Chains A and B, each alone.
Chain A
């Protein structure tokens, strides 16, 4: 299995499309950092405006953690597209290039192959998020320094500076689950077709459709919201609440894990049963 994962990672990282995600993050995050460098204090003032008449404030709320949080909120919605670019190609790409024949006549089980591809793809998701963390949080801390983190969720929440890093790590871990779910959807679609465009567009269409359905103010649709996996994807933000709703987070993570394993299982079943005609 490790050989397959290693081989698949080699294949993933030798394709130019893999680097689109890293380049996008590498360009967008610094743009946001530069913009906030010049305009960021205005953001903090906007948030604390109501209190400034009655309170003295000292210390630096405008710091690397706040920047990292803003970047995560801003880019989070766009990361899925970068994920499906690779996920949608993992299986369909083999069909397009005709390499299924070469691959599946090797003495390796289809289960091992599809699992190896899945793990390699999930590792790509991990690396992409790790890169985002590095650029947005670590980079921002180096430029803007550390401090308390201020967030707004109906009320102002300020986290002590030694209470922030673990929240980011936990949030990114949850984000990894969310993005792996997106990856699993694209991987599933990829097993059914012979061209990567279909899974890429199909996954984005599913995401957009579910997101739209979840905001339409019709009772029936709102009631069905709990069945949309997209309703649980934003759960990373729950690590920035006080008190921490641990059981809700665990439940939401469990739903995502269910989707991941369910989609992986379905994909494996399809792949094992599939006749290779390409």
Chain B
């Protein structure tokens, strides 16, 4: 992994009256990362993205992008960023081409007609270049949003829910595009999405936040480590099982109890021993299900915090 930091956030805090939307957040994004930015609704993701793009001013903390403080180098930094923030909105009374032309002009880049048409071709809107955006479906606007984010060939691409409103084919195309941009073009992608499966497939690193603060940060592999895992053990006698675990060395590995299910996080090699321990103590194990997906991990970790 290239160690050059593209985004560095320290102690970022934003309050809206009595609500703390982002609370002392730290994160690092490295060059070439496809960085997954995850969190439940109201976690502070959009607020954080808006602060990265200087749409909102933080109350406290610092943001450095491309090694430079954002506040003092806003224009230079934004010149190298392409972004979609929530749903992309355009000038409905202008055509797709005209919207891109205007946004390209404002970016100060020398965007030729050819380049605009290339972008429209890339997102599958070349045939509708002259249609007014008000005639576009949500999915078409989403794709046009991606086109405007890539128009000036940015180094860092910030995508907030880029696949919203797209059909499975469209989602795959975005996924492939992000991979292409990251691997073949060397772009850094900061990706926020609710579709965790998508993030799991393409992200190289990620952060999960909740209530404005970091829960976990690391690579997908680190978070879904193969040398430790989560298992859900379904038993017939939950009370007896709890009392046995309390007396055992696994009480710290017990993360969550729900009905007859016990969620353990423990080294993979100890899973068989845990099963054996239940059996020896005459507790029937009806099921032993490993938790490996990001979605499960996400739900567990955020629910754990919410409890």
Point out residues on A near B: beta carbons under 8 Å: 3-4, 6-7, 10-11, 14-16, 97-109, 273, 275-277
Contact = CB atoms under 8 A, between A and B. Distances in A.
Contact of A104 (B55, B77, B91, B148): B55
Looking at B77, B79, B103, the one whose CB has the most chain A CB atoms below 10 A away is: B103
B93 interface: yes
B225 interface: no
Nearest to B102: A7
Given A7-B106, A105-B78, A97 B92 contact: yes
A3 B81 CA distance: 20
Nearest to B83: A105
Contacts of A273: 57
B149 to A, nearest CB: 9
Contacts of A102: 88-90, 103, 148
Interface string B49-77: 01001111100000000000000001111
Nearest to B56: A275
B304 interface: no
Given A15-B93, A97-B92, A99-B90, A108 B57 contact: no
Contacts of A104: 53-55
A149 B81 CA distance: 61
A105 B50 CA distance: 9
Contact of B91 (A99, A101, A107): A99
Nearest to A276: B55
List of 10 A-B pairs having minimum Cβ-Cβ separation, nearest first: A98-B89, A107-B79, A276-B55, A107-B78, A101-B85, A275-B56, A106-B106, A107-B75, A105-B53, A105-B83
B168 interface: no
B240 interface: no
Contacts of A15: 93
Contact of A276 (B56, B91, B92, B105): B56
A11 B87 CA distance: 21
Contacts of A11: 91, 94, 102
B103 to A, nearest CB: 6
Contacts of B56: 275-277
A100 to B, nearest CB: 8
29 contacts: A3-B105, A7-B102, A11-B91, A11-B102, A14-B91, A14-B94, A15-B93, A97-B89, A97-B92, A98-B89, A99-B91, A100-B55, A101-B86, A103-B103, A105-B54, A105-B83, A106-B78, A107-B76, A107-B108, A108-B75, A108-B106, A108-B108, A273-B57, A275-B50, A275-B55, A275-B56, A276-B55, A276-B56, A277-B56
Interface residues of B, number: 31
B11 interface: no
A276 B57 CA distance: 9
B228 interface: no
B107 interface: yes
B50 to A, nearest CB: 7
Looking at A6, A16, A102, A108, the one whose CB has the most chain B CB atoms below 10 A away is: A102
Contacts of A7: 102, 105-106
Contacts of B79: 107
B246 to A, nearest CB: 49
A107 B85 contact: no
Contact of A3 (B76, B83, B91, B106): B106
Interface string B103-130: 1011110000000000000000000000
Contacts of A16: 93
B106 A101 contact: no
Nearest to A275: B56
Interface in B128-157: 148
A140 B85 CA distance: 53
A276 B94 CA distance: 23
B112 to A, nearest CB: 15
Contact of B87 (A3, A98, A275): A98
Contacts of A97: 89-92
